[in-house]
Amino acid sequence: MADTTLEAPAATRRPRRIRWETVGDHVVLILGSLLMMLPPLIALTTASHDAVTIHREGLQLTLGDDLGKNFKNALFEKGGFTKNVNGMLMLMNSFILGIGFAVGKIIISMMAAYAIVYFRLRFATLAFWIIFTTLLLPLEVRILPSYEAIQKLGLTNTYTGLIVPLIASATGTFFFRQFFLSVPEELAEAARIDGAGPWKFFIDILVPLSRTMIAAIFIIMFVFGWNQYLWPTLITTDESFFTLVRGIKQIVLTYTDANIPEHGLALALAIVAMIPPVAIVIFFQNWFVKGLTESDK
Amino acid sequence: MKRAGFDNIWLPVALLLPQLMIIAIFFYWPAGWALQSSFYLQDPFGFGSTFVGADNYTSLIGNDHYLRVAWFTVVFSILVTFFSLAIALLLAVKADKVLRGAKSYRTLLMWVYAIAPPVAGFLGILFFDQSTGPMTRFFQMFGWDFKLGVDYNATATAMIIVSVWKQIPVNFIFFLSGLQSIPRSVREAAMIDNRSATGRFWQVTFPLLAPTAFFLLIINITYALFDTFGIIDALMKSNPGNNPMTLVYKVYLDGFRGNDLGGSSAQSVVLMVLVLALTVFQFRLVERRIHYT
């Protein structure tokens, strides 16, 4: 009550000053939005021009006539060094990596977190520490030995070699552990009294309860997997396993090594590589923000 | 652990097994192997290796190129962290303040999160192109003959700008959610006590945001160290030459292109120690930030 009486007269006495301040805020926000929006948008408009124009004049601000042609060629024309990989194949590999990584990570980390939180286990603390030490060292730090390990196991150029080592970190387990700890104690007690076993409790109660959490973590992990670059670069040398993000450099190099670099095609491919993760982040914004801020990645 | 836990013995073991196996094979084995091979000198033709003690480490300290890369990594991390945090904080404060269009601004400012670093790097190549790039022309207006991939400082500048751009969304999201969790009553009390908006920000809002900012500091340093690999690789067009690079890029370069296993492993171990220190720091922070029920 007190604050309304304090604020109201101030607002009527000096309306102009307040309005200018708001205008200033909007100017800053619009400039910020332009800073973030323009580079990808200019990439899109540039991708609609033919190779000669882009080569001679650089980035284009207007839409040209070749948008459909460039996208069609980028997706269906065989490219790369061996000429047997096209955009569609790389798109499929990207989806396999993104979805495979996200689903694998969720299943494995949910199971581990459930075991740690809900069971009286003598070595629970030990398991906890074995798993959580992995949070300390990202894959990039141990990239060379990880590569050697994959090579010794004969898993180079396989989806297993591509996906599984990326799962070997505890981000997901840590996230689900936190969530399970916040689930009321009474739920497990009630389930036990009703005669539900641990497996039934997990599948019928805990998993449905975690739906929002699963969605949030799925988005984060899908984007993370889709955007992997260094690991796929090392593990896949066979072009039929290339993802878009991994293959883009090779494709760009072969496209741009020509007399007139095919920047239109390269940009079209770059945009194809952006669309799925960007779309998922925009459409499931609330889950995405929740997953990001609550997982403390 | 929950008080009302289950007593089953084999089920939890079975549940933990996949995670533990993956970690053992793809984490502990490689990490241990790196530690071991950092004390050996690998024969370049693959005929065994000899124990050399700490030689791989001492030769790092005397290596001019390594020290130069380390120095660049420090400068790069500080600049990327500072600028992306500062710009994101400014935008988050404004986005928290406006009433109209708040949700649209949030969407527009955060979606770049989903763009992969090498793709951002590829856009950077076109924006910093030597003959047609708009950013190149911008720098030329100030009399700087900007040559990406040729001039050390030009390449470094491009790497920093693209890396900052790519990191703004994450910082923005965290700052905004930190701001929105400040209770209304606190804001109103501050309104009464302090008329100046700037004064309110530095005396009330900023201290309340400090845990978020501190947490983001670590996240940003980790980002600058590791996740910028794709941006750096794209902007130097896979041609290291005289170009600036970070420590992670050097690990990759020496290990995979130079075939210097021992040296590369020693560098990995140095990085591991660095990250360990950072993460222990962060862990204590996270534990304080989260309140278990």
Per residue in B255-277, pLDDT tens?
888 777 788 888 888 888 888 88
3-state secondary structure of B51: strand
Task: Kindly report the length of chain A.
Answer: 297
d(CA A276, CA B193): 48
Q: Answer yes or no: CATH 3.40.50.1100 is held by domain A87-295.
A: no
> What one-character DSSP code corresponds to residue A241?
G
- Burial A3-38, CB ≥16 within 10 A → b, else e: eeeeeeeeeeeeeeeeeeeeeebbebbeebbebbee
Q: Name every chain B residue with its beta carbon within 8 A of the beta carbon of A146.
A: 26, 30
* B288–A contact, CB cutoff 8 A: no
Nearest by CB to A273, which of B119, B134, B229?
Answer: B119
* B231–A contact, CB cutoff 8 A: no
pLDDT of residue A6: 44
- A123 Cβ contact list (under 8 Å, min separation 6): none
From chain A residues 69-88, the ones with a CB under 8 A of any chain B CB are none
- A121 Cβ contact list (under 8 Å, min separation 6): A115, A127, B12
The whole model's pTM is what?
0.87
Q: Do A121 and A271 touch, CB atoms closer than 8 A?
A: no
C-alpha triplet B99, B101, B103: angle, nearest 5°: 100
B254: its two tokens? 């020496």
C-alpha triplet B4, B5, B10: angle, nearest 5°: 160
B105 and A140: CB-CB below 8 Å? no
Q: Do A131 and A112 touch, CB atoms closer than 8 A?
A: yes
Nearest by CB to B6, which of A39, A112, A118?
Answer: A118
Across B126-154, average pLDDT: 86
pLDDT at B205 over 80: yes
A145 and B170: CB-CB below 8 Å? no
* A243–B contact, CB cutoff 8 A: no
The closest of B276, B283, B181, B168 to B220, measured between CA atoms, is: B168
Where exactly are the structural domains of chain A? 87-295
CA distances B245 to B126, B146, B210, B262, Å, are 20, 18, 31, 20
pLDDT of residue B80: 96
Nearest by CB to B2, which of A142, A185, A263?
Answer: A185
Strands B49-51 vs B40-42: parallel, antiparallel or unpaired:
antiparallel
* B216–A contact, CB cutoff 8 A: no
Tokens 């980035």 locate to: A59
* A8–B contact, CB cutoff 8 A: no
d(CA B123, CA A34): 15
Q: Name every chain A residue with its beta carbon within 8 A of the beta carbon of B165.
A: 35-36, 39
Across B194-217, average pLDDT: 83
pLDDT of residue B43: 65
pLDDT of residue B149: 79
* A21–B contact, CB cutoff 8 A: yes
* B156–A contact, CB cutoff 8 A: no
pLDDT at B79 over 90: yes
Top-confidence residue, B242 or B47: B242
For testing the chain A interface, which of B26, B172, B174, B196 should be mutated: the one with the most A CBs within 10 Å? B26
Which backbone phi and psi does B41 adopt, to 5 degrees?
A: -105, 120
> What one-character DSSP code corresponds to residue A154?
T
* A36–B contact, CB cutoff 8 A: yes
Domains in chain B, CATH or no CATH each: 55-289 (1.10.3720.10)
> From first to last of its 297 residues, what are the pLDDT tens digits of chain A?
444 444 444 445 555 555 787 888 899 999 999 999 999 999 888 888 887 777 777 788 888 888 888 888 878 877 655 666 788 888 999 999 999 999 999 999 999 999 888 887 777 778 888 887 787 777 887 888 888 888 888 988 999 999 998 888 888 888 888 889 888 888 888 888 888 888 888 998 899 999 988 999 999 999 999 999 989 988 888 888 889 888 887 777 776 666 667 788 888 888 999 999 999 999 998 888 888 887 654
% of chain B surpassing 70 pLDDT: 92
CA distances B239 to A27, A249, B213, B229, Å, are 40, 12, 36, 14
Q: Name every chain B residue with its beta carbon within 8 A of the beta carbon of A267.
A: 126
pLDDT of residue A18: 58
* B126–A contact, CB cutoff 8 A: yes
* B180–A contact, CB cutoff 8 A: no
- A156 Cβ contact list (under 8 Å, min separation 6): A150, A235, A236, A237
d(CA A47, CA A71): 8
B131: its two tokens? 């003959």
A274 and B265: CB-CB below 8 Å? no
B122 and A252: CB-CB below 8 Å? yes
From chain B residues 48-77, the ones with a CB under 8 A of any chain A CB are none
The closest of A167, A174, A53, A182 to A105, measured between CA atoms, is: A167
Tokens 């290596």 locate to: B63
pLDDT in tens, B90-106: 999 999 888 888 889 99
The model's confidence at residue B290, banded by pLDDT at 50, 70 and 90, is very low
Q: In this complex, how many residue pairs, one in chain A and one in chain B, have their CB atoms less than 8 Å apart?
A: 293
pLDDT of residue A89: 87
The closest of A284, A247, A289, A43 to B120, measured between CA atoms, is: A43
d(CA A94, CA A245): 8
d(CA A138, CA B21): 18
pLDDT of residue A182: 86
User: Helices in chain A by DSSP H: which ranges?
Assistant: 2-13, 15-46, 51-57, 67-76, 87-118, 124-132, 143-152, 159-167, 171-182, 185-193, 198-201, 207-209, 211-226, 230-235, 244-256, 263-283, 285-295
B109 and A118: CB-CB below 8 Å? no
pLDDT at B152 over 80: yes
pLDDT of residue A83: 65
A280 and B15: CB-CB below 8 Å? no
From chain A residues 45-74, the ones with a CB under 8 A of any chain B CB are 46, 56-59
CA of A84 vs chain B CAs: smallest distance (Å): 22
Q: Do B2 and B233 touch, CB atoms closer than 8 A?
A: no
For testing the chain A interface, which of B15, B96, B171, B191 should be mutated: the one with the most A CBs within 10 Å? B15
A61: its two tokens? 């601000």
A297 and B219: CB-CB below 8 Å? yes
Q: Name every chain B residue with its beta carbon within 8 A of the beta carbon of A148.
A: 30, 33
Q: Name every chain B residue with its beta carbon within 8 A of the beta carbon of A124.
A: 1, 12
Write the DSSP assignment of B107-134 as a string of letters: HHHHGGGGS-HHHHHHHHHHHT-TTT-H
d(CA A264, CA A55): 9
Which backbone phi and psi does B20 adopt, to 5 degrees?
A: -65, -40
Q: How many helices (H) and strands (E) does chain B have?
A: 14, 2
pLDDT of residue A258: 64
B30: its two tokens? 């490689």
The one-letter amino acid at A224:
F
Q: Do A249 and B118 touch, CB atoms closer than 8 A?
A: yes
Write the DSSP assignment of B119-186 as a string of letters: HHHHHHHHHT-TTT-HHHHHHHHTT----TTTSHHHHHHHHHHHHHHHHHHHHHHHHHHHHHTS-HHH
